[in-house]
Amino acid sequence: MNELKSCHSELVKLLSNKRVAYVDIPFHFNVGDLLIWQGTETLFEENQINIVYRAFQSINHSKLKNSDVILFHGGGNFGDLYIKHQNLRENIIRKYPNKTIVCLPQSIHFDSMENQRKSRDIFSQHNDFHFFVRDIESLEIARTFTNNAKLMPDMAHSLHPLIDSNECTLSLGESTKILNMERVDKEASTLKRRADKGSFDWNQIVSSHDI
C-alpha cells in the first residue's frame, strides 16, 4: 500500500506551486467515488497543494481562467456511460487548449467506437493534457488521446493508512465473516453471486440526505 500511494508523487510534481482548479467533484450516490474524493483531498492536504477552486458540474469559468492547472476528478466515468461528466470534460478541453489539464486516475469505457473516436479527436488536439488511468486496457485507449498517458493507482490509495496494521488481524479462533456488497446501477455485474447470502448496495443504507 505504501508503494501504491507513493506513485501519486508524480501528481504532486505536476500540481506543486500551481493554482489548481479541481472540477467534477462527485456529488452523487456512488460512495466509491466519495472515497476517491477523500483520497484526493488527503493528497492535497499532505502536500500543501494550492486548490483555488472546487466545482461539481456547475462551472465558474472566471475561476478556471485564473488557475494554472485544471484537475479532473478520477474514478470510472470516462467514456459514454456517464455522458454528463464526459461532456463537462470535453467542453473544458475545447475551451482551454493552452492550459495544463490533468485527469486523475480513471477507467475508460465506450459502448460506441464512434463516440470514442469523437472524444479522442477532441482530447488529442489539446496542447498539455495529462491522462492518468488505473488499468492496462484504459491505458491503451488513453494513449490514443494524448502522449501524456500513464498508469497510476486509484486516488483512494492516498488514504492509506486508515488503521494500524495490527487492527487487521483476526483474534485466534474468530471466524471470517463475509460482507456481500453488490452494485445495482448500470455497472452492476451480470455474473452469478458467488456468496450464498443476500446482498446490498449503498442506496439501501444511505439516503441522498446523508451525502
Q: What is the pLDDT along the chain (211 residues), one digit of tens a residue?
A: 889 899 999 999 999 999 999 999 987 667 778 889 899 999 999 999 999 999 988 999 999 999 999 999 999 899 999 999 999 999 999 999 999 999 999 999 999 999 999 999 999 999 999 999 999 999 999 999 999 999 999 998 898 876 555 544 445 455 555 556 677 777 777 766 555 556 656 565 556 665 5
What is the C-alpha to C-alpha distance for residues 103 and 152, in angstroms, rounded to an integer? 11
pLDDT in tens, 46-73: 999 999 999 988 999 999 999 999 999 9
Pick 2-159's CATH classification: 3.30.300, 3.30.420, 3.40.50, 2.40.50: 3.40.50
Task: Residue 122: name the closest of 154, 84, 88 by CA.
Answer: 88
pLDDT of 168:
47
Domain boundaries, the chain: 2-159
pTM of the model: 0.78
User: Are the CB atoms for 14 and 133 separated by under 8 Å?
Assistant: no
Give the burial class of 62: count Cβ atoms within 10 A of its Cβ; 0-12 exposed, 13-18 middle, 19 or more buried. exposed
DSSP β-bridge partners for residue 143 = none
pLDDT of 104:
97
